[in-house]
Structures are given as structure tokens and as C-alpha cells.
Amino acid sequence: MHYTERLFRPPAESESLIFQVALGCPHNTCRFCAMYKGVPYRVRRQEDVLAEFAQAARQYPEERRIFLADGDVMALSFERLRTVLEVLNRLFPLLARVNLYANGSSILSKNDAELNALRQLKLNTLYVGLESGDEELLGKVNKGESAAGMCEAVQRAQAVGLKCSVMVLLGLGGREGSARHADATAALLNRMQPRLLSALRLVDVVGTDMYEGYRTVTEFEAVGELIRLLRGLELEKTVFRANHTSNPVPLEGRFPKDRDAWVALLESLLPRLDKTGPGRLPYTL
């Protein structure tokens, strides 16, 4: 496959066939993100995208998983998404699922009937960057979304059978806002009840410009924040992962059965973590 710009995709999509149906991110002002900086957002010509589908179908006729890039493909119109999915279903007879990035506002721009129609065409998992449940903090980092709106979006999507993989950013509140960030995020996730949840740690990246007064949390503080978040979560049926390379301690399992074991493990490791800097990425047992 040929990609016009640098490609970003969730770790779980490593074995998926990936098409760039748009380039860049339609929002692209988040202070913590450098993924699409310097890439003007544009939707690619439909005929070019469909031609790529046809060519790939000849090369990979038995493909079952497809990921549509770039950032927030859900922002495309319902009609455009429906056409894309109809063509993919026709060209790939064994297709099982199509996944993509989505913001809360782009999900809410579709009504329930439209969301259900997309699900019927094998749209499966929406990767949603919640980042935090703290409304004030989301404003500071120019997220362009409200926590309440993202909660409603995930609830609506899941109500029609779509899966939502929700991502939160440890350390987004910095040292001073860590507790508030963890508590507000736990409270919102308890309302949201995502089927899939991932925690990543915010690390300093060239090209980002955080808000005034922000101080990066240490490795010790990041794990402490995760412990506080886990303790506050009351999730009924959620697969949880904190195994991205940004995390000091990799975790994977399910709520609620694994929560207490995670907390015990993290607490046992706290004395061995770096209290002055970011530590190693990731921490190795």
C-alpha cells in the first residue's frame, strides 16, 4: 500500500489492511498531540480511494480486517461513509470488520439510524480519544470536545452495537492536576461504561506546546495516578489495556475481575520507580 503522509494507527490494527481515506486531522489543535502537525487536512478524492480498494482487493482478496485512516474518519458525511463501506463489503467477501478513529462530535453528527446502518455495513470499532473527564483540563489542551459530549457519543454508539475503544492520557493534568484528572476521568468512565479502555502516558514530544504551568509527571507519579484511576473505576464489562510503550508498567485484562490485582501489583512496584524523571519506557519487571 502507498501512503501519502506518515501513517498512524492503533496498536490493535497492526495486522489490518489500512487505507487513507482522508489526510491529517480535521481538528488538529490538541496541545498534547504532534501526530498530524504540518499535514493540512483534506478528504481524498472518492474515485482515487475506490480505485485503491479495487487494487488491494485483487492483491488481498481474503482480507478480513480493515482500518480507515487518518484522524477522525467518522467526521466524513454519512453518505460518504456508507459508500465506502458498501464498496468494501462488495470487494472483500470475507470482510469481518472496519475500524477507524472517531471524535465525540463526529459520532454525534450521525443519528441513531445512521449509526446503525454503518454498523450493518460492518463498521465495528471506533477509537475515541477521551483523554480526560475533566472539562476544564480539556479546554486547557484545546481538545475541542467536551467530556459530556464524548460520554453521550460513546453511549449512543454502543447502544446500536458499535464498539468504542476509549483512550485516556495519564499525566495530562501535570503534577498539580493529577488527582483531579484521575477522579474526573474515573467518574466519567463509570457513566460511559466503554467496552474497551486504554490508558497511555503523556510523554514530552517535539512539536507539542502544553498549557502554562504544566509540569510533566514522573514515572512514580504516573503510576500513582493510574492507581488512583483504577481505584475509582466501577466498570461492569470492560477490556482494559495499559500496554502501550509509553506506560511504565504494562497491564492487560478485564474489569472488574482484574482491578484489585492490578492495584496490588502497581503498589508493590512504586518503591522501585523513578521519583525525579520519566524512568524507562516501558518499565521491565
- pLDDT (tens digit, 9 = 90+) per residue, 96-131? 999 999 999 999 999 999 999 999 999 999 999 999
Q: 246 — alpha (psi -120 to 50), left (phi > 0) or beta?
A: alpha
- Residue 24 dihedral angles phi and psi, to the nearest 5°: 80, -165
Mean residue pLDDT of the chain comes to 93
The pLDDT score that the predictor gives to residue 129 is: 96
Higher pLDDT, 244 or 191: 191
For residue 157, count other CB atoms closer than 10 A to its CB.
28
Q: How distant is the alpha carbon of residue 76 from its chain centre?
A: 18
Q: Which amino acid is at 96?
A: A
CATH of domain 11-203: 3.20.20.70
User: From residue 148, how far is each of 90, 103, 237 by CA, in Å?
Assistant: 37, 12, 21
Contact 107, 126 (CB under 8 A): yes
The pLDDT score that the predictor gives to residue 285 is: 46
pLDDT digits (tens, 9 = 90+) for 151-164: 999 999 999 999 99
Q: In this structure, what C-alpha cell is assigned to residue 24?
A: 491529517
Contact 223, 262 (CB under 8 A): no
**Planar angle of CA 247, 248, 252, nearest 5 degrees:** 60
Residue 207: strand, helix, or coil: coil
